[in-house]
C-alpha cells in the first residue's frame, strides 16, 4: 500500500460559495477530512496552510519544500492542494528545488466545494492516483487537473473560470489519467535543482506595449532591485523609447531577463533593428526561452539566492 502525504494550503478547492455567489475561505477544509475510496493508498492529510492563492508568498513555497524534504523518507508520494491563481508559481518553485525523486503532484479546483459540478474532489482523488503511481516518480512536480498531467515548468492558467484552465502551450500535457490507467506520453526534461533554506529579493515584472513610456522603468530604484523581468513583444523585442531606461539599469548591474508576452512560442534574439532582440542580447539582456514572466521571476530569484553570477548566471537563465 502506498503512503501519500497530502499538504493542503487552501484555495478554491477548500472554499464554499454563499447564497449571493461569493466564494470565501472557511476553517473547515473538506479535502482534509475526505475518506478516499482508493484502497491501495494510505493518505495522511495535513492542513499545512489555509490561504487564498493570491496570499501565497515565497516563504510559504519554501516551507512546503522544507516539509517535503523533511518527510521524504516517510512517504511514497506527495499531493499539494492549492489555489489556482498562483498554483503554477508554487509548482515551478518546488520543481526547481532539490525535491526527492518521488511523485510530487499539485492540484486545485475551479469550482468551490459546494458549487454545482464542483471539480475539487475529483481532481484531488486523481492527484492521489498519480502520486501513488511509480511512473510519476522523478518527473519533477506534476500538475494534475481535469484528467491531464502537466509539467510544472510549462503549465499555465489560461482561463479565469473554466475547469480546463491549465494548459501547456507549445508542448501539451505529459500524460493523461483514464478510468483504469495513468498514461505518460512524454518525460519532463532534466532540471538544475537547488537546495535553499531561504529566499529573498525584489524582482518586478514589466510588460511591454506599443508607444511605451519610460515612467515605470524610471520609477525603479536600482539600489532596491535584485533584478527585472520584462515581458517583451513578439520573439523578444522592445520599443526603442525605453532603451535609455534599460541601459541605466544594466549599467547599475541589474540583471534583466526577457520573456515574450506571447502565449505560445520561444523568446529568442532574431531581429536586428533598434530595440530588436539581437541588440538586446548584445547589450546583456538574458533571454528565457519558454517560461512566462511569473516563472522567469522565480527562476532569476532562485539563481541569485543560489549565488550564481556572471557567465554562470547567464548559462542557467538562458539554458
Q: Is 9 a catalytic residue?
A: no
> Which three cell numbers, joined as nine digits, stand for 212?
511605451
The angle formed by the CA atoms of residues 48, 53 and 58, to the nearest 5 degrees, is: 75
Which architecture does CATH list for 2-184?
3-Layer(aba) Sandwich (3.40)
Neighbours of 307 (CB within 10 A): 9
Classify the phi-psi angles of 4: left when phi > 0, otherwise alpha if psi is within -120 to 50, otherwise beta. Answer: beta
**What is the rounded distance in angstroms from the CA atom of residue 254 to the CA atom of residue 248?**
9
Q: In sequence order, which residues have a C-beta less than 8 Å from that of residue 46 and are 6 or more positions away?
A: 5, 6, 7, 8, 32
Cα separation of the two ends of the chain? 39
Each domain of the chain, given as residue ranges in start order, spans: 2-184, 205-318
Domains 2-184 and 205-318 in one fold: yes
Residue of 9, 12, 107, 168 marked catalytic? 12
- In the DSSP assignment, the letter for residue 216 is H
pLDDT digits (tens, 9 = 90+) for 241-264: 999 999 999 999 999 999 999 999
Q: What is the CATH number of domain 205-318?
A: 3.40.50.40
pLDDT at 300: 98
Q: Is 18 a residue whose pLDDT tops 80?
A: no
pLDDT digits (tens, 9 = 90+) for 176-198: 999 999 999 988 888 899 999 99
Amino acid at each position: 500500500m502506498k503512503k501519500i502525504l497530502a499538504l493542503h494550503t487552501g484555495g478554491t478547492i477548500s472554499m464554499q460559495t454563499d447564497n449571493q455567489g461569493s466564494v470565501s475561505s472557511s476553517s473547515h477544509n473538506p479535502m482534509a477530512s475526505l475518506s478516499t475510496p482508493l484502497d491501495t493508498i494510505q493518505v495522511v492529510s495535513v492542513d499545512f496552510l489555509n490561504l487564498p492563492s493570491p496570499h501565497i508568498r515565497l516563504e510559504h513555497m519554501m516551507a512546503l519544500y522544507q516539509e517535503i524534504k523533511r518527510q521524504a523518507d516517510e512517504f511514497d508520494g506527495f499531493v499539494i492542494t492549492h489555489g489556482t491563481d498562483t498554483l503554477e508559481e508554487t509548482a515551478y518553485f518546488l520543481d526547481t528545488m532539490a525535491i526527492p525523486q518521488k511523485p510530487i503532484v499539485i492540484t486545485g479546483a475551479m469550482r468551490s466545494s459546494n458549487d454545482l459540478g464542483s471539480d475539487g474532489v475529483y481532481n484531488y482523488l486523481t492527484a492521489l492516483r498519480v502520486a501513488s503511481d511509480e511512473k510519476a516518480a522523478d518527473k519533477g512536480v506534476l500538475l494534475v487537473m481535469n484528467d491531464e498531467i502537466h509539467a510544472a515548468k510549462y503549465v499555465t492558467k489560461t482561463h479565469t473560470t473554466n475547469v480546463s484552465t491549465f494548459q501547456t502551450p507549445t508542448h501539451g500535457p505529459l500524460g493523461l489519467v483514464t478510468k483504469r490507467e495513468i498514461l505518460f506520453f512524454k518525460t519532463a526534461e532534466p532540471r538544475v535543482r537547488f537546495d535553499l533554506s531561504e529566499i529573498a529579493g525584489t524582482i518586478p515584472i514589466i510588460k511591454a506595449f506599443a508607444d511605451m513610456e519610460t515612467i515605470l522603468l524610471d520609477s525603479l530604484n536600482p539600489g532596491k532591485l535584485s533584478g527585472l523581468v520584462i515581458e517583451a513583444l513578439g520573439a523578444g523585442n522592445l520599443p526603442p523609447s525605453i532603451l535609455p531606461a534599460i541601459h541605466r539599469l544594466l549599467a547599475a548591474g541589474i540583471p534583466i531577463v526577457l520573456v515574450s508576452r506571447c502565449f505560445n512560442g520561444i523568446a529568442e534574439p532574431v531581429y536586428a533593428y533598434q530595440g530588436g532582440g539581437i541588440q538586446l542580447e548584445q547589450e546583456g539582456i538574458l533571454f528565457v526561452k519558454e517560461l512566462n514572466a511569473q516563472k522567469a521571476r522565480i527562476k532569476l530569484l532562485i539563481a541569485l539566492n543560489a549565488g550564481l553570477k556572471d557567465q554562470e548566471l547567464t548559462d542557467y537563465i538562458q539554458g
